[in-house]
Amino acid sequence: MIGLALGSSVAGVAPVVAALGAGALGALDDLVGDPSSKGLRGHLRAAREGRITTGLVKVAGLGVVGLMSAAMTDRESRPRDGATEPLPSSWVRAGDALIGGAVIAGAANLVNLFDLRPGRALKVGLVVGVPMAIMGGPRAPRGPAAAAAAAGASLGLLAPDLRGESMLGDTGANALGAVLGVALIQGRSRSTRLALLTGLVGLTLLSEKVSFTKVIESTPGLREFDAWGRPAR
């Protein structure tokens, strides 16, 4: 988490806030989380029973961290003084930040959902981060830097994670996903952010019904890629 935050600092303040905030919330779940409540439905069920789980606190906290990071991202991408492009209204900026914050929170949560086998979440970080680092995005001079930081951190941790010598946990997976979320929204239009959010929400809801592990292990290509690098049993 700390290394990722330092590496992503070249992309501005937003990915640093995302990495540290999401990582801290993940650490809370790692250290004192209740394993009896799993998934969004489990945390909501516990809340109806009068129990506030660390997972529910993390969900709410990721929303706040995402909103803060998105607002910072948009402010850093805003035209400087003297630019001829008019600024959007405060309501439009607030709406864009809300959508962007939801994308960041959703990405942080989704990467954590993939962290069920050694190296899997880090491979997701590489698959998503490397193309963004290479191609960049519209009006996002710092977007490739945030993506490159996420991809670099994933690559650096991949070998020990595959060997079982280290583990991301919620701390690392949430931080990685949040930085990827920042990279995803930097310089993106509202319609693109909405499309990203729709996809993230869809995958998150799907995870409540379908096991990603079963899908991966039953799909040729995905199965081999997922297993690549792990020691033979």
pTM given for the model: 0.89
| DSSP 8-state class, residue 11 | G
Q: What would the pLDDT profile of 144-159 be if each residue is shown by its tens digit?
A: 889 999 999 999 999 9
Average pLDDT for 61-89: 77
Assess if residue 212 is contained within a domain: yes
Tokens of 56: 């529910």
Percent of the chain with pLDDT over 70: 85
Structural domains counted in the chain: 1
69 lies in some domain? yes
Residues 6+ apart with CB under 8 A from 168: 115, 121, 122, 157, 161, 176
The count of C-alpha atoms lying within 13 angstroms of the C-alpha of 67, restricted to the half-sphere facing its C-beta, is 8
Q: Give a yes or no: residue 116 inside a domain.
A: yes
- Using alpha carbons, list the distances in angstroms from residue 143 to 59, 89, 131: 25, 24, 11
32 belongs to a structural domain: yes
Record the tokens describing residue 31, joined without a space. 């250290």
Residues 216, 226: contact at Cβ < 8 Å?
yes
Q: Is the pLDDT of residue 85 over 70?
A: no
Q: Is residue 232 part of a domain?
A: no
Position 164 in a domain: yes
Distance CA 137, CA 96 (A): 17
- The pLDDT score that the predictor gives to residue 106 is 96
Mean pLDDT of the chain: 87
**165 belongs to a structural domain:** yes
Question: Are the C-beta atoms of 113 and 207 separated by less than 8 Å?
Answer: yes
Is 88 within a domain?
A: yes
Q: How far is 34 from 71, CA to CA, in rounded Å? A: 32
Q: Indicate the pLDDT class of residue 124, thresholds 50, 70 and 90.
A: very high
Measure the CA–CA gap between 64 and 119, rounded to whole angstroms: 28
Both tokens of 45, joined, read 């069920």
Domain that includes residue 217, residue range = 2-227
For residues 189 and 148, give the distance between their C-alpha atoms in angstroms, rounded to a whole number: 21
